[in-house]
Amino acid sequence: MWTVVYIAPSTSSASKLRQILTEEGLLVNLKTVEVDDDGRGSIEVQVPEGEAEEAHEIITQHLGRIR
């Protein structure tokens, strides 16, 4: 089951986060909730439920690089 670990404010930040998590060996799914023509909106970053805790730790470490 996929679990939302972050809601990105743009497609570019969601892509950056997907790259970081993937490089750490996690499976990542992006689900667009709402995005405007400029790529801003809400994109859910999802990982398998069993990887959620690890994903949160990685996100915390890299938060400045995501935005």
Where in the chain are the domains? 2-66
Asked whether residue 65 carries a pLDDT value surpassing 90, the answer given is no
Write out pLDDT tens, residues 8-59: 999 999 999 999 999 999 999 999 988 788 778 899 999 999 999 999 999 9
Give the CATH number of domain 2-66; options: 3.90.850.10, 3.40.50.280, 3.40.50.970, 3.30.70.1530: 3.30.70.1530
DSSP string, 2-66: EEEEEEEEEHHHHHHHHHHHHHTT---EEEEEEE-TTSEEEEEEEEEGGGHHHHHHHHHHHHHHH
- What does the pLDDT read at residue 66? 63
- What does the pLDDT read at residue 21? 97
- What does the pLDDT read at residue 67? 59
Which has more confidence, 62 or 44? 44
pTM for the model:
0.86
